[in-house]
């Protein structure tokens, strides 16, 4: 009984981590709009990128905790690791100012994050 409650707690932590990641990506889209229309948009988008990357790392941690000690499937860990890789590419092309890759990749990441949230 305690094992099941622990597993449910870990899965709720995983769901929370995915939800946080999805929210931060959405807020990045909002700050990207502000980037084009206000003086403080660049600061918000830059800070948001750090928060989004941190949320992606939290997703990996939650996936590890749901898998290893909880005895769950390793599939969420693969998704989280792949997402962290996408986030790394996103940060790199953002720093390099390559909007032709940065914008579509951001939309893809948001869609994948929403799908991962819906699956949990």
Please work out, in degrees rounded to the nearest 5, the angle formed at the alpha carbon of residue 34 by the alpha carbons of 52 and 44: 40
What pLDDT score was predicted for residue 1? Answer: 47
The number of distinct structural domains making up the chain is 1
Number of helical H runs and strand E runs in the chain: 4, 0
Give the pLDDT of residue 3. Answer: 56
Task: Please list the ranges in the chain whose pLDDT falls under 70.
Answer: 1-11, 70
Q: Which structural domain, as residue segments, surrounds residue 21?
A: 2-119
Q: What is the pTM of this model?
A: 0.85
**Residue 8: per-residue pLDDT:** 55
Contact 117, 22 (CB under 8 A): yes
Residue 69: the pLDDT is: 77
Question: What is the reported pLDDT for 23?
Answer: 97
Q: Nearest to residue 32, comparing CAs of 110, 85, 89, 84? A: 110
Is the CA virtual torsion 53, 57, 58, 63 positive or negative?
positive
So what's the pLDDT on residue 34?
92
Chain segment 94-110, per-residue pLDDT in tens: 999 999 999 999 999 99
């Amino acid at each position: 009984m305690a094992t099941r409650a622990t597993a449910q707690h870990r899965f709720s932590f995983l769901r929370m981590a995915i939800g946080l990641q999805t929210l931060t990506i959405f807020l990045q889209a909002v700050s990207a709009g502000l980037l084009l229309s206000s003086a403080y948009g660049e600061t918000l988008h830059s800070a948001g990128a750090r928060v989004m990357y941190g949320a992606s790392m939290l997703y990996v941690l939650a996936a590890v905790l749901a898998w290893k000690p909880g005895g769950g499937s390793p599939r969420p860990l693969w998704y989280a690791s792949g997402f962290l890789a996408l986030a790394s590419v996103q940060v790199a092309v953002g720093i390099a100012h390559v909007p032709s890759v940065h914008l579509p990749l951001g939309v893809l990441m948001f869609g994948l994050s929403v799908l991962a949230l819906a699956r949990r």
